[in-house]
């Protein structure tokens, strides 16, 4: 099964932005790539277009209907909080095994991007994190990070957490932050001194496409 988990060093880093760019770049290459966002918090049914799920549907050329939303985001919560907290406010929970089964039962003939939620270890429920979810999948991984002050420590900490669970990202994607203390290339070069076995890519703000080699690894 061709699953790629889109992980990040924290929230609002750009997972959805990168997921959508991967889908759009693949489309320009004549390749079909699907995106799903199984867990989403801060979701408003009246503002589907503004949601992460809505952006993914748009990238795939699908209408922003609740029927389509349910297909790619079965666990939806209105509070813009960590998934466990958002679910608790609706007297709900996010059980790990059904979440894993949802991902594993996706169409195996189409490369599929599974966008995570929050950072590498945000809680899903009382006992499980997104890292538990990712480790339970037989999936590749792209780690999305930023170019903000502090990103080097956050990125290397995330990599250590992934390594503990036997996960080595296929790529690290530096998504240019709005406030960056140094040029992105300097951040990439510094990170590259410590991370020598994973390709590092820089994505400029408002980019239209991603490097084709990223799509070819899906």
Locate tokens 């990238």: which residue?
59
Do the annotations mark residue 115 as ligand-binding?
yes
First to last CA, the chain: 10
Q: Is 42 annotated as a binding residue?
A: no
Domains of the chain: 3-216 (3.40.50.300)
pLDDT digit string, tens, across residues 32-88: 999 999 999 999 999 999 999 999 999 999 999 999 999 999 999 999 999 999 999
Q: Is 175 annotated as a binding residue?
A: yes
- Using alpha carbons, select from 105, 107, 103, 131 the residue that is nearest to residue 117: 131
Helix pair 15-28, 52-59: axis angle to 10 deg: 10
Catalogue the active-site residues: 37
**Beta-carbon count within 10 A of 28 CB:** 11
pTM over 0.85: yes
Annotated ligand binding at 13? The verdict is: yes
Tell me whether residue 117 is annotated as binding. Answer: yes
DSSP-based three-state secondary structure for 96: helix
Per the model's pLDDT, the better-predicted residue between 211 and 37 turns out to be 37
Q: In this predicted structure, what is the pLDDT of residue 209?
A: 85
Nearest to 101 by CA among 70, 136, 127: 136
Residues 6 or more apart in contact with residue 90 via CB below 8 angstroms: 77, 78, 79
């Amino acid at each position: 099964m061709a699953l790629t988990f889109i992980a990040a060093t924290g929230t609002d880093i750009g997972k959805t932005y990168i997921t959508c760019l991967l889908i759009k770049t693949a489309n320009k290459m004549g390749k079909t790539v699907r995106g799903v966002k199984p867990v989403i918090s801060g979701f408003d049914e009246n503002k589907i277009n503004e949601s992460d799920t809505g952006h993914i549907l748009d990238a795939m050329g699908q209408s922003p209907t609740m029927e389509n939303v349910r297909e790619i985001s079965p666990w939806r919560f209105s509070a813009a909080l960590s998934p466990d907290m958002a679910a608790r406010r609706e007297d709900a929970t996010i059980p790990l095994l059904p979440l894993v089964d949802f991902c594993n039962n996706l169409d195996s003939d189409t490369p599929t991007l599974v966008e995570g939620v929050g950072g590498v270890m945000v809680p899903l429920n009382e006992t499980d994190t997104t890292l538990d979810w990712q480790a339970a999948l037989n999936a590749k991984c792209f780690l999305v990070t930023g170019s903000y002050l502090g990103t080097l420590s956050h990125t290397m900490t995330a990599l250590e957490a992934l390594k503990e669970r036997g996960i080595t990202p296929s790529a690290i994607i530096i998504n240019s932050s709005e406030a960056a203390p140094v040029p992105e290339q300097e951040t990439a070069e510094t990170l590259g001194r410590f991370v020598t076995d994973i390709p590092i890519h820089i994505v400029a703000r408002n980019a239209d496409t991603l490097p084709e080699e990223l799509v070819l690894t899906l």
